[in-house]
Amino acid sequence: MRLILLRDVASLGRKGEVVDVADGYARNFLLPRNLAQEANRGALAVLGEQKKAQVRREEEALSDARALADRIEATKLAVRARAGENGRLFGAVTNADVAAAIAAAVAVPIDKHKVELKGQIKSLGSYPVEVKLHKSVVAKTTVDVIAG
């Protein structure tokens, strides 16, 4: 029997896949638990539309991430931190501080977990920063740590 999986099923497939299974397995396990539905013409048409919509959403998210990456790379970032006379900071500049600076500069909230620093920032100067906006889009910029 051909079925469309409504949820991920271990050792069978992932949500949205069309699978062939034994009639008994379908009638006694998958269908009563709402894990799958029959793969008739109407259901296959709906599945096709859902996949098209998913592809469209992914393309839109990718283009938005690229546009945001361009904005971040074109922006001059500065983080103010308290520092001693020799330029050493009292504490450190964290990825949360850099995320807040990016959010203030481009007016888009950035998750601190998406900001990657090469090492700890414990003194004044310029440091490279990478921001992972999408699985295939990384914005590279520098942040200037200034006394404040």
On whether both 87 and 143 belong to a single domain, the answer is: yes
What is the pTM (predicted TM-score) of this model?
A: 0.73
Q: How many domains does the chain have?
A: 2
Looking at residue 120, which CATH number applies to its domain? 3.10.430.100
With respect to residue 138, please indicate whether it lies within any of the assigned structural domains: yes
With respect to residue 7, please indicate whether it lies within any of the assigned structural domains: yes
Question: In which band, very low, low, confident or very high, does the pLDDT at 135 lie, cut at 50, 70 and 90?
Answer: very high
Tell me the C-alpha distance between 78 and 74, whole Å.
13
pLDDT value at position 119?
86
On whether both 55 and 20 belong to a single domain, the answer is: yes
Residue type at position 141: T
The pLDDT tens digits of the residues spanning 82-112 come to 998 888 999 999 999 999 999 999 999 999 9
pLDDT value at position 148?
79
DSSP SS3 for 96:
helix
With respect to residue 101, please indicate whether it lies within any of the assigned structural domains: yes
Query: Would you say residue 120 has pLDDT above 90?
Result: no
On whether both 51 and 112 belong to a single domain, the answer is: no
With respect to residue 90, please indicate whether it lies within any of the assigned structural domains: yes
Residue 84 makes CB contacts below 8 A (sequence gap 6+) with: 90
The pLDDT tens digits of the residues spanning 40-49 come to 999 999 999 9
* Domain assignment of residue 32, given as a range: 2-63
Sort strands 137-147 and 77-81 into parallel, antiparallel or unpaired: parallel
The pLDDT tens digits of the residues spanning 28-84 come to 999 999 999 999 999 999 999 999 999 999 999 999 999 999 999 999 999 999 998
Structure tokens at 139: 């914005």
With respect to residue 112, please indicate whether it lies within any of the assigned structural domains: yes
With respect to residue 92, please indicate whether it lies within any of the assigned structural domains: yes
